Amino acid sequence: MRVTAICIRNFKRRKLRTVLCISEIAIAVAFLVGVSALTSRMTAIIKEMNTLFEDEIIVVSRDVIVIQGFPIGGSIPERIIDELKRIEGVEEAIPMLFNLDLKVGGTSALFPANVSIGLPLEKLSILFPESLLIIEGQLPLDKYEEILIGRSIADQYSLSVGSIVNFKGMNLLVSGIIRGPSIIMSRSIIMSLELAQKIHKYEGQISMAVVRLKPNIAANVVANKIEGEFNYVMALTENERNDVANSIFNEISIWHHITEIFTMVVSGILVATVEIMNLSESRRDFATLIAIGSSKMSLIKIVAAETFLIGFLGGSLGILFGGLSAVILASLHTNIPIIFFIWGFFDIITPHLIGTVLALNIFICIASGILPAIFALKINVSATLRSEY
């Protein structure tokens, strides 16, 4: 308690310097938290995609961008499905139409960053794990007029089972709401393949085909057969899709570490600079305390306590500001009301991220304060007292 009281008194004596230091650390930490939150969210979504289509081959148009099995753009003829089923080793071939960014609702509101998936509805449980398909309501019975929507979309637009939505001029019935934990499925609109083709004007076209293999069949062998027979497609095995995802993870990880190092260096320099100035001003006080019998360790404890408080306050404010920045950016980027991100604040700014950033920031601040203090305390007490008094 006595050390804390001394620290608070020192802060009051140097209010402006302390406030500026804490503010600058908060800005640096906020930048780190904002970047970390958005990149970790992106990584979580890509990793979740990895749970889909396990041990299956994804057939897409050649030269399109594919992220864990989902193509961005491109199309292939639907008739390829029957031809794929005839290839040796293929047990099943399922067509899918995958689309992004849809307009929905009677108020012409935007469903931004949504995933629209069209597929044979009887194959839904085959393609997606049971843990992701927790459905309130039921599967669409009328493949031309009913759809499933994710929980996030339902909450955003106050939709429930039985609601009617006007979707590109078509009145569609919400037959069920997907309540599973999946980030992707929470922003998904799932419908029959025929309805998706009609809505998006993809008659006779699909985005991808999911190929299931017979037992004990090598995926790379079948993939080579598919690419050999159809020169306009790519047949991607699970390993090939993971290679693409890993390259993305590596890039994200590199930039995250660069940001982390930069932020910690900035925090360390700020604290070290402030402590050097504080120690220079406190030479007489330290010399006096040492002369009357105080140990140097007790003085180091005072410095450590000061830097701990600076690191804790700056880090806490930075986490708060960084979290709010990440929430605001996510809302602006997707047009999803900010209140939905605030409700899921700890899904974006995870407790692990908070603990890691705060602990690392406090450690850097304490180390940056103690190192100058150790050198500053190697003073000649007699000479210092003569010069100061």
Average pLDDT score over residue span 161-188: 86
SS (H, E, C) the chain: CHHHHHHHHHHHHCHHHHHHHHHHHHHHHHHHHHHHHHHHHHHHHHHHHCCCCCCCEEEEECCCEEECCEEECCCEECCHHHHHHCCCCEEEEEEEEEEEEEECCCCCCEEEEEEEEEECHHHHHHHCCHHHCCEEECCCCCCCCEEEEEHHHHHHCCCCCCCEEEECCEEEEEEEEECCCCHHHHCEEEEEHHHHHHHCCCCCEECEEEEEECCCCCHHHHHHHHHHHCCCEEEECHHHHHHHHHHHHHHHHHHHHHHHHHHHHHHHHHHHHHHHHHHHHCHHHHHHHHHCCCCHHHHHHHHHHHHHHHHHHHHHHHHHHHHHHHHHHHHHHHCCCHHHHHHCHHHHCCHHHHHHHHHHHHHHHHHHHHHHHHHHCCCCHHHHHHHHC
Tokens of 41: 């969210």
Kindly report, residue by residue over 94-151, the tens digit of the pLDDT. 999 988 764 444 333 333 457 889 999 888 887 877 777 788 988 898 888 999 998 8
Residue 267 lies in a domain: yes
Domain assignment present for 53: no
Task: For residues 77 and 223, state if they share a domain.
Answer: yes
- Asked if residue 67 has pLDDT above 60, the reply is yes
* Total domains present in the chain: 2
Higher pLDDT, residue 38 or 389 = 38
The C-alpha atoms of residue 122 and residue 149 are separated, in whole angstroms, by 17
List pLDDT tens digits, range 314-372.
889 989 988 888 888 777 766 666 776 777 777 778 888 888 888 888 888 888 878 87
**What pLDDT is recorded for position 192?**
93
Last residue of a domain, one of 231, 256, 271: 231
Q: Answer yes or no: do 80 and 218 share one domain.
A: yes
pLDDT given for residue 10 in this prediction? 63
Asked whether residue 56 is assigned to any structural domain, the reply reads: no
Pick 219 or 383 by higher pLDDT.
219
| Contact predicate 121/143, CB 8 Å | yes
Beta carbons of 204 and 197 less than 8 angstroms apart:
yes
Domain boundary among 176, 198, 231: 231
Which pLDDT band, with edges at 50, 70 and 90, does 281 fall under?
A: low
How confident is the model at residue 149, as a pLDDT? Answer: 92
pLDDT surpasses 90 at 71: no
Same domain, 211 and 340: no
**What are the tokens at 107?**
């108020």
Confidence class of residue 287 from pLDDT cuts 50, 70 and 90?
A: low
Structural domain of residue 25, as residue ranges? 2-47+246-388
Residue-level pLDDT at 289:
63
Sign of CA dihedral 71, 72, 75, 78: positive
In the prediction, which pLDDT does 108 show?
A: 36
Tell me, yes or no, whether 76 and 222 share the same domain: yes
Q: Do 284 and 196 lie in a common domain?
A: no
- My answer on whether 213 and 143 are in the same domain is yes
Instruction: Tell me the percentage of the chain whose pLDDT exceeds 70.
Output: 83
- Residue 109: what pLDDT? 39
Mean of per-residue pLDDT scores for the chain: 79
Q: CA triplet 332, 323, 318: central angle to 5 degrees?
A: 130
